[in-house]
Amino acid sequence: MKKTYFQPIQIGFIFGAVNVFLVLIGFNAMVASLLAKALGEQVLTALPPFPYLAAFTILLGLWCGIAAARKSSRARIAGNVLAGWLSGLAAGSVTFVFCVGIGWLLSNKIDIRNYLTVLSFDFINGVLMGLPPLVGALANLGILAAAGAVGGLLYGFIQSSKVKQINQPILALTCSTTEKLKRLDHGRRRLAFQILGVAIAGAVVIFLPLNWGSYWNYVAGTVGLYVILGLGLNLIVGLSGQLVLGYIAFFAIGAYTMALLNSPLPYNLMWGFWPALVLGVIFAALAGLLLGLPLMRLRGDYLAIVTLGFGEIIRILLKSDVLTDFSGGPRGIQNISGPTLFGRPFNSDIDFMYLIAISVALAAFVYNRLQHSRPGRAWLSIREDETAARACGVNTTRYKLLALALGAAFAGLAGAIYASRNQFTGPEEHSLMASINVLSLIIVGGLGNIPGTILGAFALKGLPEILREFSNYRLLTFGALLVVMMLSRPEGLIPSKRPKYKTPQEADGRNAEEKNVS
């Protein structure tokens, strides 16, 4: 066999192993259920109809064929089809062996759900598409081989010269339109676009919560709180380059400050929401400052490990029986009062949605101003090379402490609002996984920028709620998403741009150009 055929076959074996793994965890049934619901069919049982399970296999085969064709050195469509077919055949061979094995279990009525909970008799029958075991295994082989060939054909067609000739005018038109929009984004027109954007965003924030309902307001509020957390962590990690893994401890400080000052138990202080909110932000900032003082000489992994320990110490103290009279222990603190505004309760789901939206806007404004200020430039220099920044006269200790304190203040703000909205806070809400979630969202969205933080929060907190069927595969999805991001978009979905500072002469020329445009 020629050497050029080995790579498609190798890709096929990988896809076959992935297919077997996804079947063993029931991922194929979940995707098939989503397809059925998207097409308007009601799925009354845990197992969707056979055609939708076959559709999952077809989609995987198409992906396999396209991946093999991309790696193929053949430029003609026939070569791409052959590469896709070989890859699909290899994936089908692995799946065929697996289907023969589970078909034997079905024929002999051997129940192995004590070891592999997904492999019930109904599920095995669904994987075999309701056919006899050998016929079902051959059907899976044929589907993957045919889908692989079709995938190779699609890739070859898209990469053909005729299609590229059709795409060239479209790409040229897109580029010219983009350039025209960039030219409009200057002078008075820029201000008009900004006012229009703010007006549209304000209308959306005002009217959507009125029609969403309690559940979706809760989901959107959770996404907003994680946006605030992401912006705060971006100050520390994205701008100043300090890797902090115990960030959720500052969130806990804000939440427990709100709980202790605004709930009947344990002290019945009942100071009100707004004073407790301000004190939660202040206490979290002070905690960040006090934590940073002994850690300023640490960098990289050492700083991450120490802050990880700090976060776990806070959680364990809150959970311990020693502090039960102070923090409620494992039970947490309940019946936290909501805010009032001009003597009227301001604690419905719509009210909290407005409050969170205002907090997100405030946090984004403060973050944007800090990023483009003198401290922001100092943080960027520390992130790129702390030694060089110190040699250039930057007080690295002061600016790193400032980043840690301000980032902790953002977390305290989110924590206080979170505790009041839920009327409860407990130690299990401030675990290490919550810190990992915040760090993951800024990595996925893109370090150091506001749109990336919003997109990351929506991807990691909003989508799992929209796609509830993925809840059992949350960690698997996170891991796969991070691997894909490291391979394809290592700087995030929306990577931050390196700031460009102009000389006075360049700035004067730019200002003159803007005046001419306006």
The pLDDT score that the predictor gives to residue 517 is 44
Range 30-59 average pLDDT: 80
Please say if the pLDDT value at position 190 is more than 70: no
Select the more confidently predicted residue: 19 or 511: 19
Mean pLDDT of the chain: 85
Percent of the chain residues topping a pLDDT of 90: 40
Confidence band (pLDDT; 50, 70, 90) for 1? very low
Q: How far apart are CA 513 and CA 232, in angstroms?
A: 37
Confidence band (pLDDT; 50, 70, 90) for 365? very high
Model pTM score: 0.77
Which segment of 14-23, 169-178, 179-188, 298-307 scores lowest on mean pLDDT?
Answer: 179-188
Range 235-239 average pLDDT: 92
Domain-wise residue ranges, the chain: 3-167, 194-488
Please say if the pLDDT value at position 229 is more than 90: yes
Confidence band (pLDDT; 50, 70, 90) for 401? very high
| Two structure tokens written together for 116 | 């592999």
Range 9-26 average pLDDT: 92
| Intra-chain end-to-end CA distance of the chain, in Å | 67
Q: How many helices (H) and strands (E) does the chain have?
A: 22, 4
CB atoms within 10 A of CB 159: 14
Range 298-321 average pLDDT: 88
Range 194-207 average pLDDT: 82
Which of 467, 472, 477 lies closest to 37, judged by CA? 467
Regarding the domain delimited by 194-488, which CATH topology (the fold level of the hierarchy) does it fall under? ABC transporter involved in vitamin B12 uptake, BtuC (1.10.3470)
What DSSP character marks residue 74?
-
Which segment of 341-350, 409-418, 503-512 scores lowest on mean pLDDT?
Answer: 503-512
CB atoms within 10 A of CB 46: 13
The pLDDT score that the predictor gives to residue 407 is 95
Condensed to tens digits (0 to 9), the pLDDT of residues 147-172 reads 999 999 988 888 777 666 666 777 77
Condensed to tens digits (0 to 9), the pLDDT of residues 310-340 reads 999 999 988 888 888 888 888 889 999 999 8
Condensed to tens digits (0 to 9), the pLDDT of residues 113-129 reads 888 888 888 888 889 98
517 neighbors 480 (Cβ within 8 angstroms): no
The pLDDT score that the predictor gives to residue 362 is 94
Please say if the pLDDT value at position 252 is more than 90: yes
Select the more confidently predicted residue: 397 or 323: 397
Q: How far apart are CA 369 and CA 424, in angstroms?
A: 33
Please say if the pLDDT value at position 510 is more than 80: no
Please say if the pLDDT value at position 103 is more than 50: yes
| Two structure tokens written together for 230 | 């992401």
SS3 string of 351-383? HHHHHHHHHHHHHHHHHHHHHCCHHHHHHHHHH
Range 436-464 average pLDDT: 87
Range 226-238 average pLDDT: 94
